[in-house]
């Protein structure tokens, strides 16, 4: 799991990181053998002192349906990203703040190595119980065709496949009787993990009574971590509006004189900033509100995903044995998103059991995100044709017809499956945002040069959504055709952008091709048509912002 078949090849857990951090970036191509030797040395890891993480927040703008009993309705809008409370008169943001903590480059490689060790052991535990491996779908490579080799291209299941399995199960079981689907969500999953229980499960996974010192040091680094705020690394603090940048002159000088990207030119420079009070070190961001006990793990480390999966090992096992094997239910968990498909008469029993297991595993259920659906075959036209239809059971016991079951970015109404409407809206907002920025740039350009053409080049905008061509990695001694893909990472300005990273040969994709792939896998033609307004929105947005 932790290396490829060839000894001369770079292990799969050694990957370059493009973001700026407290320590220099690493050229893994030229130094991977030295890195591998150090990280695989248990004595070295036992005494290794991990650097503080950098903490930032990704703000996800969301539009929530307006509850007219609690919030004021503005301009007859049904949804808004800012809601004004009727009771207090204060404006509340519907945006979701996602805390992110990311490690220094070498520390991230240590976490990645131990993640690979734990993942291998965790997979063995899942395989030891019949049917358990199929229940846990997130952060794992699950084959579409088990008979094909591990490195077979396109043989890994995606969220599209996982969602389809749920929807197909509901459809098939509904042929005999009315079926219920219960969707549960864990509240603040990563920040709420209990450290004692996590340590116990870590020991269970690797089959030891007490964690070895090298594992224990990594465990402590994940649970009792320190961090610095990204905003503290800026030139000056600013609470509202556009955030200040960093000391570009210093960063440029470090790149030129030292040959690497980093916020500090040396460890001494970093320590001096702490001693002088220019940089504050924070500790333990997650605490239990009642007991004030330290809890949670940072979301953003290479090891975070496998730890989150491991944490619910006993929960998954209990659901499998009691609900799946004994009651005939269908169970799937994708990280903190839980789905149980059962008979209608089992709804209360399943709810009570899942909630009990949540308490025993020291996680809290998010009641506002817990939903119950019943699927019935209902007549829908004068010809008395029947189709499978979803019915949501509200918290007050009332029913909402054709309210879709939302799972992994899809909406399932029984008779059709579509991409989640908010995801389509997010795509359009991103397109408009790009056009608005390009328009401002074009208008400012004309103010400086009146002879400059007032135009936005559509092909440049389309490039943001098109594929990136495959290319040769000339720096790699095992040069082969590779591809680049984009991941969301913080750049040296503190902004989260899509950055290019190298991966093994694979077909490129964008949002349009994702919809095409989803349409094919789901066997639903309407999915491809969900972006039918994209050309109209593109040209109308250009006309709107360019002519302001």
Please, which residues have CB within 8 angstroms of residue 67's CB and are 6 or more apart in sequence?
none
Q: Pinpoint the alpha helices (H) of 298-420.
A: 304-311, 313-319, 347-360
Please, which residues have CB within 8 angstroms of residue 44's CB and are 6 or more apart in sequence?
38
Gap between the terminal Cα atoms of the chain: 56
Out of 159-173, 309-323, 408-422, 423-437, which region has the weakest mean confidence (pLDDT)? 423-437
- The pair of three-digit structure tokens given for residue 245, joined into one six-digit string: 């940048």
- The pair of three-digit structure tokens given for residue 407, joined into one six-digit string: 């799972």
The DSSP symbol for 292 reads -
pLDDT at 118 over 90: yes
pLDDT at 475: 40
CA dist 390 and 404 (Å) reads: 6
CA dist 466 and 28 (Å) reads: 29
pLDDT at 444: 85
Q: Is residue 5 very low, low, confident or very high in pLDDT (cuts 50, 70, 90)?
A: very low
Contact (CB, 8 A) for 361 and 315: yes
Q: Is residue 298 very low, low, confident or very high in pLDDT (cuts 50, 70, 90)?
A: very high
Mean pLDDT calculated for residue range 81-90: 63
CA dist 27 and 20 (Å) reads: 13
Is beta strand 53-60 parallel, antiparallel or unpaired with respect to 226-229?
parallel
The CA dihedral of 308, 314, 317, 322, to the nearest 10 degrees, is: -130
Out of 7-16, 233-242, 536-545, which region has the weakest mean confidence (pLDDT)? 233-242
Please, which residues have CB within 8 angstroms of residue 280's CB and are 6 or more apart in sequence?
228, 229, 232, 274
pLDDT at 190 over 60: yes
Q: Considering the entire predicted model, what is its pTM?
A: 0.83
CA dist 20 and 167 (Å) reads: 42
Of residues 528 and 484, more confidence is placed in 528
pLDDT at 183: 95
CA dist 183 and 332 (Å) reads: 10
Q: For residue range 465-478, list pLDDT tens digits in order.
A: 554 344 444 344 33
Contact (CB, 8 A) for 245 and 493: yes
State the CB neighbour count (10 A cutoff) for residue 535: 10
Intervals of CATH 3.30.70 along the chain: 132-192+301-415
pLDDT at 52: 95
Mean pLDDT calculated for residue range 36-49: 95
Out of 123-127, 412-416, 489-493, which region has the weakest mean confidence (pLDDT)? 489-493
Cα 265 → chain centroid:
32
Considering the segment(s) 132-192+301-415 as one domain, its CATH architecture is 2-Layer Sandwich (3.30)
Of residues 383 and 344, more confidence is placed in 344
């Amino acid at each position: 799991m932790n290396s490829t078949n060839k000894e001369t090849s770079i292990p799969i857990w050694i990957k370059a990181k493009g973001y700026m951090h407290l320590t220099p970036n690493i050229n893994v191509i030229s130094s991977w053998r030295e890195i591998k030797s150090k990280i695989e040395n248990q004595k070295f890891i036992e005494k290794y002192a991990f650097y503080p993480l950098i903490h930032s927040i990704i703000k996800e703008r969301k539009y929530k349906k307006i509850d007219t009993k609690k919030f004021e309705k503005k301009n007859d809008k049904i949804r808004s990203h800012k809601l004004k409370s009727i009771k207090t008169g204060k404006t509340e943001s519907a945006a979701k703040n996602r805390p992110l903590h990311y490690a220094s480059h070498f520390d991230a490689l240590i976490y990645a190595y131990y993640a690979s060790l734990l993942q291998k052991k965790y997979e063995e535990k899942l395989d030891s119980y019949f049917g358990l491996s199929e229940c846990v779908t997130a952060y794992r490579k699950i084959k579409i065709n088990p008979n094909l080799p591990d490195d077979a291209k396109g043989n890994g299941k995606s969220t599209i496949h996982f969602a389809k399995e749920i929807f197909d199960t509901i459809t098939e079981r509904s042929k005999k009787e009315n079926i219920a689907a219960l969707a549960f969500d864990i509240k603040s999953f990563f920040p709420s993990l209990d450290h004692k229980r996590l340590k116990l499960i870590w020991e269970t996974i690797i089959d030891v009574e007490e964690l070895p010192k090298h594992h224990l040091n990594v465990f402590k680094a994940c649970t009792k971590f320190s961090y610095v705020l990204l905003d503290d690394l800026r030139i000056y603090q600013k609470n509202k509006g556009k955030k200040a940048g960093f000391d570009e002159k210093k960063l440029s000088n470090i790149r030129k004189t030292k040959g690497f990207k980093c916020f500090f030119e040396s460890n001494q420079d970093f320590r001096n900033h702490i001693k002088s009070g220019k940089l504050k070190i924070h500790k333990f961001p997650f605490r239990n509100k009642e007991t004030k006990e330290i809890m949670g793990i940072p979301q953003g480390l290479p090891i975070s995903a496998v730890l989150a999966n491991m944490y619910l090992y006993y929960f998954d096992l209990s659901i499998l044995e009691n609900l799946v094997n004994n009651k005939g239910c269908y169970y799937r968990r994708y990280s903190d998103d839980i789905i149980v498909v059962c008979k209608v008469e089992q709804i209360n029993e399943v709810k009570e059991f899942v909630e009990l297991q949540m308490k025993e595993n020291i996680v809290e259920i998010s009641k506002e995100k817990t939903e119950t659906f019943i699927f019935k075959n209902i007549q829908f036209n004068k010809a008395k044709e029947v189709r499978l239809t979803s019915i949501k059971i509200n918290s007050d016991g009332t029913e909402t017809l054709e309210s879709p079951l939302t799972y992994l970015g899809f909406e399932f109404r029984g008779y059709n499956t579509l991409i989640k409407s908010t995801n389509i809206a997010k795509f359009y907002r991103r397109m408009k945002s790009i056009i608005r920025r390009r328009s401002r740039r074009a208008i400012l350009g004309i103010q400086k040069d009146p002879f400059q053409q007032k135009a936005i080049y559509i092909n440049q905008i389309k490039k943001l959504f098109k594929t990136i061509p495959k290319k040769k990695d000339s720096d790699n001694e095992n040069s082969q055709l590779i591809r680049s893909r984009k991941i969301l990472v913080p750049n040296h300005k503190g902004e989260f952008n899509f950055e290019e990273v190298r991966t093994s040969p694979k077909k490129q994709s964008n949002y349009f091709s994702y919809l095409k792939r989803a349409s094919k896998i789901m066997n639903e033609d309407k999915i491809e048509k969900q972006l039918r307004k994209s050309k109209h929105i593109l040209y109308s947005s250009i006309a709107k912002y360019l002519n302001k």
